[in-house]
């Protein structure tokens, strides 16, 4: 399968998930709490995951599908990380920042990523060596070089005992950046850095399915991706800093 064929399969898989989402929407059923009151799963998450996973397993049998609500173990070098609804809490409250996130990794390398924003249908997609796109238009990070002009984002940890650390980080940035946003979806936040909407995004305590697609898109767009302290990014670490590159070192200094 060529890279282009692979990307099209991921786009089509996101389309299958979006159809399942639209059919199930309004029939969320019982909202189940997982690790905390902000970590939720609904019947819609499960319906989207089932439809998307089934499609991927049929069309990319060589890869292991690792989905948020499934608990599958990783058994092959090629993995497809699936978050059926990244931003479930946003979805439950009717806040539009939620998406399907699908990232294909081979070993330690991202090969392709697709993020479909479910409230609008916007599609972010990238394949290694072929560029990154938003609704078919090529994207690049912003060229802003001053932190005073930088719009950055972060996220809250599910473990609220760690919220103080995030507040401390935000306190160091708020007087030096233009503003800080909480998007509530790591995948979308990374896409916004990739497309120049944001200048930076950092967060810790994330899972591989939160990061896999957005990282692939951000890297292919030309963004810089590391751990929040500037060390090399590792998908399993759960910590990330994405920036337009020009502000990366300054953000590391302010965050860490």
pLDDT value at 39 more than 70: no
Quick one: DSSP state of residue 122? -
Mean pLDDT for the stretch of residues 170-175: 93
How does pLDDT run across 204-241, given as a tens digit for each residue? 999 999 999 999 999 999 999 999 999 999 999 999 99
- Structure confidence at residue 38 (pLDDT): 59
Q: What CA–CA distances, in Å, run from 5 to 49, 65, 172?
A: 22, 17, 45
How does pLDDT run across 73-88, given as a tens digit for each residue? 666 789 999 999 999 9
Return the higher-pLDDT residue of 128 and 72: 128
53: which 2 tokens? 């996973």
240: which 2 tokens? 């990330």
What class has domain 147-255? alpha beta
CATH code for the domain defined by 3-138: 3.30.540.10
Secondary-structure percent of the chain, ordered helix, strand, coil, rounded to 5: 40, 25, 40
CB 188 within 8 A of CB 107: no
Confidence class of residue 41 from pLDDT cuts 50, 70 and 90?
confident
pLDDT value at 147 more than 90: yes
137: which 2 tokens? 């238009």
Q: What CA–CA distances, in Å, run from 26 to 21, 22, 29, 40?
A: 9, 9, 8, 16
Contacts of 8 (CB under 8 A, 6+ apart): none
pTM of the entire predicted model: 0.94
Alpha-carbon span 223 to 7, nearest angstrom? 20
- Structure confidence at residue 158 (pLDDT): 79
Confidence class of residue 100 from pLDDT cuts 50, 70 and 90?
very high
Residue 50: is it exposed, middle or buried by C-beta count within 10 angstroms (0-12/13-18/19+)? middle
Q: Which residues are catalytic?
A: 68, 83, 85-86, 88, 210
Alpha-carbon span 246 to 84, nearest angstrom? 33
Mean pLDDT for the stretch of residues 50-58: 97
Alpha-carbon span 85 to 89, nearest angstrom? 9
DSSP 48-109: HHHHHHHHHHHH-TTSEEEETTT-PPP-SSEEEEEEEEETHHHHHTT-S--EEEEEEEETTE
Q: Which residue has the tokens 């929407």?
A: 25
pLDDT value at 10 more than 70: yes
> What ranges do the domains of the chain cover?
3-138, 147-255
Bridge partner residues of 226 (DSSP)? 232, 241
- Structure confidence at residue 157 (pLDDT): 85
- Structure confidence at residue 73 (pLDDT): 60
């Amino acid at each position: 399968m060529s890279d282009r064929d692979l990307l099209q399969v991921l786009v089509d898989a996101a389309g299958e998930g979006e159809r399942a989402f639209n059919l199930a929407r309004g029939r969320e059923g019982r909202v189940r709490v997982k690790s905390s009151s902000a970590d939720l799963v609904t019947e819609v998450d499960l319906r989207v995951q089932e439809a998307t996973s089934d499609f991927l397993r049929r069309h990319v049998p060589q890869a292991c599908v690792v989905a948020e609500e499934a608990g599958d173990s990783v058994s092959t070098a090629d993995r497809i990380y699936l978050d059926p609804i990244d931003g479930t809490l946003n979805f439950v409250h009717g806040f539009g920042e939620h998406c399907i996130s699908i990232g294909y990794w081979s070993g330690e390398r991202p090969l392709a990523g697709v993020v479909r924003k479910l409230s609008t249908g916007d599609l972010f997609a990238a394949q290694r060596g072929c560029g990154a796109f938003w609704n078919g238009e090529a994207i690049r990070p912003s060229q802003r070089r001053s932190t005073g002009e930088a719009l950055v984002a972060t996220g809250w940890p599910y473990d609220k005992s760690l919220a103080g650390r995030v507040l401390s980080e935000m306190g160091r940035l708020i007087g030096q950046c233009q503003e800080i946003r909480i998007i509530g979806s790591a995948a979308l936040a990374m896409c916004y850095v990739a497309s120049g909407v944001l200048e930076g995004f950092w967060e810790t305590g994330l899972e591989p399915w939160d990061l896999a697609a957005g990282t692939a898109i951000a890297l292919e767009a030309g963004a810089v991706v590391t751990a929040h302290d500037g060390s090399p990014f590792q998908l399993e670490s759960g910590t990330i800093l994405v920036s337009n590159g020009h502000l990366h070192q300054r953000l590391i200094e302010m965050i860490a």
